[in-house]
Amino acid sequence: MNLQRIIRGTFQKTLGFAVLVSLGSLFYADRPLQSQSIALSPEYQAALAALNIPVAVPTYIPDGFTLSQITINLCPSDIRQGGDCREGTSYQIIYRNPENTCLMIEAIGGGLGGPDSEFHYITQTDLLGEVEIRFGENPGDGNTPRPEQLTTPQSQLYNFPAIGRSGRPPYYAVRVEEQRYLCGNNTSISPLEFEQIIQSLVLLE
pLDDT at 182 over 90: yes
- Residue 199 identity: Q
10 assigned to some structural domain: no
Q: Residues 116, 140: contact at Cβ < 8 Å?
A: yes
Q: pTM of the full predicted structure?
A: 0.80
As a whole number of angstroms, the distance between CA 143 and CA 146 comes to 9
What's the pLDDT at 100?
97
101 assigned to some structural domain: yes
pLDDT digits (tens, 9 = 90+) for 148-178: 999 999 999 999 999 988 888 899 999 999 9
132 assigned to some structural domain: yes
28 assigned to some structural domain: no
138 assigned to some structural domain: yes
Question: What is the total residue count of the chain?
Answer: 205
pLDDT digits (tens, 9 = 90+) for 83-132: 667 778 899 999 999 999 999 999 988 766 678 899 999 999 999 999 99
What's the pLDDT at 138?
84
37 assigned to some structural domain: no
Q: In which region does residue 43 sit, left (phi positive, over 0), alpha (psi from -120 to 50) or beta (all else)? A: alpha
Domain that holds residue 110: 42-203
What's the pLDDT at 83?
64
pLDDT digits (tens, 9 = 90+) for 21-57: 333 333 334 444 443 345 677 777 888 888 889 999 9
**Total of domains in the chain:** 1
29 assigned to some structural domain: no
The string of DSSP letters for 43-110 reads: HHHHHHHTT-S--EE-S---TT-EEEEEEEEE--TTS---GGGTT-SEEEEEEE-TT--EEEEEEESS
18 assigned to some structural domain: no
